[in-house]
Structures are given as structure tokens and as C-alpha cells.
Amino acid sequence: MTAREHRVRGLGFTLIEILMVLALLGVMLAAGMPSFMAFITKTRVSGATNAFLGDVSYARSEAATRQVEVAICVSTNQTSCTTGNAWERGRIIFIDTNADGAVSAGETVLRISQPTTSTTVAATGFGSTDILRFRPQGGLRPPTQGSFKLCPSSGTEGRMLSIATTGRPVISKINTCP
């Protein structure tokens, strides 16, 4: 065997070396998968919370800017308000000129938010759990405070979006999700 042939044969990996590397990769992936799934769940809840905070802040800002009452309501079809406390199904932000809590003819729809996946959103403490109204000064109508609990479909760590009577939203972590 020449020196050239010997060098060519020594450049590859043996079958045993390749199998050992694949076995080590399998063990490392199996050990890291649960923490990766928890990371994905937390990221989804955080994204849904930030989107919800954006909608609340936008509605409050538009009420103060336009000096009109702006409402956010639950919507399953993204065209009209729906009764119920299932905010994850979608939301509509609109100028509620007649203060009836529904998107009526002639009222301007400012934003439509699509449903969230793998996250539940429930309201507590407000005058109504299916609509949120902001006065032209930015505060809530009626002047009550409340919160939205955003929880993953699996897991216990979620977020709480609390809104003061002044309309100011605050996010906090919670460990009481079902």
C-alpha cells in the first residue's frame, strides 16, 4: 500500500464512531426536550400577553387622542362583539359612539385581533367580562379595576394583566394557572 492510499483510508469515520456520536446526540436531545417545551409554552404566553397589552394600550391611547369612548370586546367572528369571557377567541377595538357596547353601523373599527392559540384569557373584576371601555380621559368606564389572567393550555405559570381605574395596565407573573 502506498502512502497516498494510506492517507485516503485514514480520512473517514468508522461505523462505530458514527453510531457513538448519534447515540450521544440522542441522549442530549432527550434530556433537553422537556425544558425546550417549557420554553416554548412560556414564549407563547408572553407573546399573547404582549399582544393583549398592546391592544389595551392602543385602545386607551386612541380614546385620549380622539377624545371619544373606545371599546374592546370579545369577538369570535372578528366582525361583531360576542358575549362571554373568552378573550382568546379574538378582539375588536372600536369607537363606541352610542355607548351600547356593540359595533353598530357608522362606528369605526380601529383594530381586529385574531384568536390566540394555546393560551386562555379570562377577565375578572370589571363591570362586564366581555367588553372593556375607555373614557376620553383614558380611564375605564365604569370606573372599576380588573384583571386578565392569561394561562397556557398546559402548565401552571402564566401572566396577569391588571388594569387600574385610570386605565393603566400592569403585567405580573402568576403560578396559579389550572
Q: Is the pLDDT of residue 53 over 70?
A: yes
**For the segment 139-165, what is each residue's pLDDT rounded down to a tens digit?**
998 888 999 999 998 878 899 999 999
C-alpha 25, offset from chain centre: 33
Q: Which segments of the chain does DSSP mark as H helices, in order? A: 3-9, 15-66
**For the segment 5-15, what is each residue's pLDDT rounded down to a tens digit?**
655 556 778 88
Closest CA to 101 of 74, 67, 63: 74
Q: What is the fold of 40-174?
A: minor pseudopilin epsh fold (3.55.40)
Say if pTM beats, i.e. exceeds, 0.85. Answer: no
Closest CA to 71 of 85, 84, 86, 56: 56
